Structure 1
Amino acid sequence: MNGYELLRILYGLFLGTFIIIAGALTLTSKGEPGIGFRIGYTYLSERARRKANRVSGIGTVLTGVALIILSPFIPMAGLFVVLLLGLGGTLALAYLTAKREYELEELSTEAPEKPGSGIEPPKVGKHITLQLIFTGVSFTLILTGEVPRDLGILLVASLQLFLLALTVLVSRPLVFQLAPKFKGKMALGFARAMTIVSAMVALQLVVVALKPRASPLLVVLLPLVSLGAIFYAVFIALTSAYEEGYY
């Protein structure tokens, strides 16, 4: 066993254990603040909260177990794919479960009034439009062969599609409502942050397409711009979370 294989196994072990603990906490959550799967539906319905926590807890635990078991056999990139598929699939199933249970409770004779129907969704149309433009630029460069069609480039460009999907989701309070009250400031901040990251990705691919000479200044400047954009996006996201009421 070489050093890389040992590092990969340790990575899978520690990350898998952490995810299993998080899944167990979600599965056993009794509604404690900050623990469990929480979206708008789970604040409107205790039934939706319990069922969604059960689904997300089991799915998260299974993802952690899969990481530990597969770490000796697949490369690091494969573990990353397992992580994304496992947690992504779990979140999707938990959301659908919460939505279904809330709707079933709403149809029952004991259903409460609809406290969420008056929530005004944030307007993120300009952020969606900008991200569509940035994503279009990136995939145009790839399809025309201006940038290499290797796996790394495709993954980076696919990140823009993921950010676009998240921006659409944050515009829906019942999906992105992470606290009992919803002001929309956090959703707008996240949408702005994801637009900045999408613009950074498009800029990097444009620079690659222009094929400038690899001067020392460019080698230093491009990573600095990328890090600056990421830090600024994180700053916006954290500031908006504070304004929403997360202290």
Structure 2
Amino acid sequence: MTGAVINGTVTTSAVLNKTFTAGGGYTIPAGYTKADLFAVGGGGGAVNTYNHGGSYGGSGGYTKTVKSIAVSSGQVLNMTIGAGGVNNTNGGATSVTMSGVVLCSANGGSYGKNSYDTGNAGGSGGGQFGPYTDNADHLEGYPGGSDGGDGYPLNTNYTAKGQGTTTRAWGISTGTLYAGGGGGGSELRYYAGGAGGAGGGGTGGSGISGATYQRNGTTNTGGGAGGAGYYSTAEGIGGSGIVLLKLY
């Protein structure tokens, strides 16, 4: 029997989701022709702004989603996972390459620079240290930003800027949140540090005796580091980045 040629699509495999928390290679298995990638850069470190404490939180790593990349069985994706920044250093970039071509890349967040410095930015902005506001009415550290938002500012001229778009996985409203900004440390005794931004941001150091807090950004979230508190040089470390892969 003869007739017109009929074209069709046959699905040979279900959607495959993979998570990469460390660098290395991954070989595309049989049955997949498209890939989506989501990358988060390493969170920025904090900085001790003054020798008696009070430190800016690091900004979260940037995020990036790339969809519908053509792939075939046997091709190798090479992952580089950005490290979290330490004191006075930015987070590292996270990237995915294939045959030397960059498919997806997300830069690390900046460390918690003095507010007069430029380039204090990331996926979500880091919080400022307290207590300096116009009226000195907030003595605690300021919180880090979340979901691509800015860190809480000393004033609008010196805000740690977020990327301005969601940091949720795949860029959708129901995805997991990443890249929270680190909270600023308290610059005065008896006051708390700023909260880390949702998505792994570290909490700023406290001036309260005996207080405990998580200054480090959460591993594999790209969260920014929390700043040091009153009379402390114990800044946090930014959270490392991550890569999510979807094959279909």
* Fold shared, TM-score > 0.5 on shorter chain: no
Q: Is the helix fraction higher in 1 or 2?
A: 1
TM-score normalised by structure 2 residue count: 0.25
TM-score normalised by structure 1 residue count: 0.25
